[in-house]
Amino acid sequence: MFQVKIPATSANLGPGFDCLGMALQLYNRITVETNRPFRITLSGSYKEGIPTDDTNLVWKTMCHFWDLINYPIPNLDLTFENFIPPARGLGSSSAAIVGGLVAANAIAGSPFTKLELLQVANALEGHPDNVTPALYGGVTLSVSTENGVLPRILTQSPNFKAVVTIPNMHLNTKKARGILPDQVHRKDAVFNISHVSLLTEAFIRGDYSLLKEGMRDTLHQNQRAALIPGLLETLEAALETGAYGSALSGSGPTLLALIPDNLEKDVPLSMTKALERHGINATALVLDIDTSGAFTSLI
- Does 90 show up as a binding residue in the annotation? yes
Ligand-binding annotation for 93, yes or no, is yes
Residue 43 among known ligand-binding residues: no
Determine if residue 110 is labeled as part of a ligand binding site: no
The pLDDT assigned to 179 comes to 78
Question: Is residue 85 annotated as involved in ligand binding?
Answer: yes
Domain ranges of the chain: 2-156+290-298, 161-287
- Nearest CA-CA partner of 282 in 81, 27, 49, 85: 85
Return the DSSP state at 40. Answer: E
- CA torsion, points 231, 235, 238, 244, in degrees to nearest 10? 160
Name the 3-class secondary structure at 20.
strand
**Is 94 labeled as ligand-binding?**
yes
Does the annotation flag 177 for ligand binding? no
Q: Is 274 annotated as a binding residue?
A: no
| CATH architecture label of 161-287 | 2-Layer Sandwich (3.30)
Query: Is residue 95 a known part of a binding site?
Result: yes
Length of the chain: 299
CATH of 2-156+290-298, one of 3.40.50.1220, 3.30.230.10, 3.10.129.10, 3.90.550.10: 3.30.230.10
The pLDDT of residue 177: 80
Which pLDDT score is estimated for 175? 77
Q: How far apart are CA 132 and CA 121, in angstroms?
A: 9
| The predicted structure's pLDDT at residue 174 | 77
229 labelled ligand-binding: no
Question: What is the C-alpha separation between 187 and 40, in angstroms, rounded?
Answer: 50
Tens digits of pLDDT across the chain (299 residues): 999 999 999 999 999 999 999 999 999 999 999 999 999 999 999 998 999 999 999 999 999 999 999 999 999 999 999 999 998 999 999 999 999 999 999 999 999 999 999 999 999 999 999 999 999 999 999 999 999 999 999 999 999 999 999 999 877 777 778 878 889 999 999 999 999 999 999 999 999 999 999 999 999 999 898 889 999 999 999 999 999 999 999 999 999 999 999 999 999 999 999 999 999 999 999 999 999 999 999 98
Q: What pLDDT score was predicted for residue 13? A: 98
Rg (C-alpha) for the chain, rounded Å, is 19
- For residues 221 and 218, give the distance between their C-alpha atoms in angstroms, rounded to a whole number: 7
pLDDT score of 170: 77
Has 49 been labeled as part of a binding site? no
For residue 75, the model assigns a pLDDT of 95
CB-CB contact of 227 with 239 (8 Å): no
With pLDDT > 70 as the criterion, what percentage of the chain qualifies?
100
| β-strands 295-298, 76-82 pairing | unpaired
